[in-house]
């Protein structure tokens, strides 16, 4: 299958290893990956901060960049959720754009839902001999509802010791611009998440979203906790 990668502006700039890992996983499974250089951002930050007009322009751009792709895969539940759940209201009123969006929406996937749900693959041939805990990000859990897809993928990784994260479904406190606008509340929420991660005794905390991992990883680093974060794709790419 020819897969267009939507790497997301965040991973492109701040977590390129997550994007590279998606490429490696998909190629290992025999798929052809293409990268459309015209892509920038889905507009989530603008939309969620209230800048609807700017978000609409970025949404139009996103839809046109990927309009003729067979399938689009992104290493972010949050960005895919924005497109799938929030674009309909955003593109409404522009019939051409609405049509293009509708055609695209069903061909856009977050990585774990693509692998498990669309391809029916759980064992991607990865080996990662570490103790790992998985944080289900809010948007993977409650917007995309990826269910147990990430757990299935992680359980099939050779050597990986998956430990359950207590209170897993609780938010990490990132929330995009919330982390800056309400920095102190964000830190209070994050502290509880980090406490739970440390309780597991894991070496690595993983998730489907680089944004949440930057938040969690930022505190793990500040605390000199000796625990690191890695995007789910990075673990699946390891061999």
Partner 1 sequence: MSGGFPAAARDALRDTQLRHNLGVATRTIRDKRAQVVAERPDWEELREAGRALKQRVLRHLDEYLIQFERAVEAAGGSVHWARDADEAGRVVTQLVEATGAREVVKVKSLTTDEIQLNDTLETAGIGVVETDLAELICQLAGEQPSHILVPAIHKNRVEIRDLFRRELDLPDLSDEPSELAGAARAHLRKKFLEARVAISGANFGVAETGTLCVVESEGNGRFCTTLPRTLITVLGIEKLVPEPEDLEVFLQLLPRSSTGERMNPYTSLWTGVTPGDGPQEFHVVLVDNGRTDVLADEVGRQTLACIRCSACLNVCPVYSRTGGHAYGSIYPGPIGAILTPQLRGVEHASSLPYASTLCGACYEVCPVKIDIPQVLVHLRSRVVDEASPPLGERAAMRALAWTLAHERRYERAQRAARVLASPFAHDGLITRLPGLGAWTDTRDLRRVPRQTFREWWESR
Q: Which residues bind partner 1 (CB under 8 A)?
A: 7, 9, 11-17, 19-20, 23, 35, 37-41, 43, 45-52, 54, 57-58, 61, 86, 138-139, 141-143, 169-171, 173-190, 214-215, 217-219, 221-222
Residue 119 vs 187, nearer CB to partner 1: 187
* Nearest-approach distance from CB 161 to partner 1, in angstroms: 25
* Nearest-approach distance from CB 184 to partner 1, in angstroms: 5
Eight-class DSSP state of 169: T
Question: Could you give the residue ranges of the DSSP H alpha helices within the chain?
Answer: 9-14, 16-28, 44-49, 52-66, 77-81, 87-91, 95-105, 111-112, 138, 149-155, 178-181, 183-199, 210-222, 232-237
Sequence-distant (≥ 6) Cβ neighbours of residue 139 within 8 angstroms: 77, 78, 81, 209
Residue 72 vs 189, nearer CB to partner 1: 189
Residue 106 vs 222, nearer CB to partner 1: 222
* Nearest-approach distance from CB 121 to partner 1, in angstroms: 23
* Nearest-approach distance from CB 109 to partner 1, in angstroms: 18
* Nearest-approach distance from CB 140 to partner 1, in angstroms: 11
Residue 37 vs 106, nearer CB to partner 1: 37
* Nearest-approach distance from CB 81 to partner 1, in angstroms: 9
Residue 17 vs 123, nearer CB to partner 1: 17
CB 197 within 8 A of CB 173: no
Residue 122 vs 178, nearer CB to partner 1: 178
How far apart CA 80 and CA 140 sit, in angstroms, is 9
B/e letters for 171-206, b = 16+ CB within 10 Å, e = fewer, are bbbbbeebbeeeeeebeebbeebbebbbebebebbb
Q: How many Cβ atoms sit within 10 Å of the Cβ of residue 221? A: 13
Positive or negative CA dihedral for 125, 126, 132, 137?
negative
Please report where in the chains the tokens 């693959």 appear, as a residue.
121
């Amino acid at each position: 299958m020819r897969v267009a990668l939507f790497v997301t502006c965040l991973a492109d700039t701040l977590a390129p290893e997550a994007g590279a890992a998606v490429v490696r996983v998909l190629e290992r499974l025999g798929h052809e990956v293409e990268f459309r250089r015209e892509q920038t951002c889905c507009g989530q930050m603008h939309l969620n901060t209230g800048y609807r007009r700017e978000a609409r322009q970025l949404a139009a751009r996103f839809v046109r960049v990927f309009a003729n792709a067979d399938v689009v895969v992104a290493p972010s539940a949050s960005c895919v959720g924005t497109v799938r759940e929030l674009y309909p209201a955003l593109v409404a009123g522009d019939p051409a754009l609405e049509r293009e969006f509708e055609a695209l929406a069903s061909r856009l996937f977050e990585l774990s839902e693509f692998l498990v749900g669309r391809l029916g693959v759980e064992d991607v041939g990865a080996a990662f001999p570490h103790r790992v805990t998985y944080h289900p990000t809010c948007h993977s859990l409650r917007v995309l509802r990826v269910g147990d897809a990430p757990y299935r993928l992680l359980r099939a990784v050779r050597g990986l010791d998956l430990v359950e994260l207590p209170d897993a479904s609780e938010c990490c406190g990132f929330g995009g611009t919330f982390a800056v606008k309400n920095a102190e509340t964000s830190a209070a929420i994050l502290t509880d998440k980090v406490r739970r991660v440390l309780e597991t005794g894991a070496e690595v905390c993983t998730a489907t979203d680089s944004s949440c991992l930057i938040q969690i990883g930022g505190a793990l680093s500040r605390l000199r906790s000796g625990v690191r974060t890695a995007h789910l794709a990075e673990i699946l790419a390891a061999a």
